[in-house]
């Protein structure tokens, strides 16, 4: 469906380094019917997928820990974040992507993934849509140590912790990653674990 409240869109490439940053200038019709010229920047890094691996018998989850430079420069003392497994889609569909990322990052080969929802994580400035999944894991699915792909300079620590402990890490401020909080709370609300 076309938006008849936006016209005369101009796009200017500001950066095409790691991902792309574009500046958009456009005319926007406000709620009172007035047309105004607006400018916004949009960072395009592609879409991604995230997954919460959980084990009902052990009452545990698999999380990852890795250095995130943007958090470091914004006050995260050591720059490390505790997160669910996630990755960019690249040319994969979301389900194939999350299976591949799960094996690369955590060392678990999973088959049955369930999509629970999709959402824009920071729609004011980033184009990324994230696809959220959950899947059960057990020891038989462990095929490697995980840790990420060396050629992608990934250095990921795999963490297996109790679900209760993971929830307490949200409360204590040790888990500050939105996708992780969303999936842990989804599991809590829907009594997955």
The two three-digit tokens of residue 35, written as one number: 């047309």
pLDDT at 154: 72
Question: If you average pLDDT over residues 34-52, what whole number do you get?
Answer: 96
Triad 85, 87, 89: Cα angle to 5°:
140
Confidence of residue 114 (pLDDT cuts 50, 70, 90): very high
Closest CA to 183 of 48, 50, 59: 50
- Tell me the residue ranges of DSSP E strands in 30-126: 35-44, 48-55, 60-67, 80-83, 85-88, 114-120
Q: Where are the domains of the chain?
A: 6-44, 48-189
Question: If you average pLDDT over residues 152-156, what whole number do you get?
Answer: 75
What's the farthest any 2 CA atoms get from each other in the chain? 62
User: What is the average pLDDT value for the chain, to the nearest integer?
Assistant: 94
Q: Residue 176, Cβ neighbours under 10 Å: how many?
A: 15
pLDDT surpassing 70 at residue 64: yes
The CATH superfamily label for domain 48-189 reads Nucleoside Triphosphate Pyrophosphohydrolase (3.90.79.10)
Closest CA to 7 of 24, 31, 32: 24
pLDDT surpassing 80 at residue 74: yes
Q: What is the DSSP annotation of 85-107?
A: EEEE-TTS-HHHHHHHHHHHHH-
pTM of the model: 0.91
pLDDT surpassing 80 at residue 141: yes
């Amino acid at each position: 469906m076309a938006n008849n409240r936006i016209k005369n869109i101009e796009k200017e490439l500001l950066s095409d380094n790691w991902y792309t940053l574009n500046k958009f200038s456009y005319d926007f019709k406000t709620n009172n019917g007035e047309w105004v010229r607006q400018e916004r920047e949009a960072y395009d890094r592609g879409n991604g997928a995230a997954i919460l691996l959980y084990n009902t018998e052990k009452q545990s989850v698999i999380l990852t820990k890795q250095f995130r430079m943007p958090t470091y420069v914004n006050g995260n003392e050591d720059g490390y974040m505790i997160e669910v497994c996630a990755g960019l889609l690249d040319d994969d569909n979301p389900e194939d992507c999350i299976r591949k990322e799960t094996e690369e990052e955590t060392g678990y080969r999973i088959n049955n993934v369930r999509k629970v929802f999709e959402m824009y994580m920071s729609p004011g400035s980033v184009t990324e849509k994230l696809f959220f999944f959950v899947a059960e894991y057990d020891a038989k699915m462990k095929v490697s140590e995980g840790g990420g792909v060396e050629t992608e300079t990934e250095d990921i620590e795999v963490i297996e912790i109790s679900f209760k402990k993971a929830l307490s890490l949200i409360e204590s401020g040790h888990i500050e990653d939105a996708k992780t909080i969303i999936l842990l709370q989804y599991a809590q609300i829907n009594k997955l674990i």
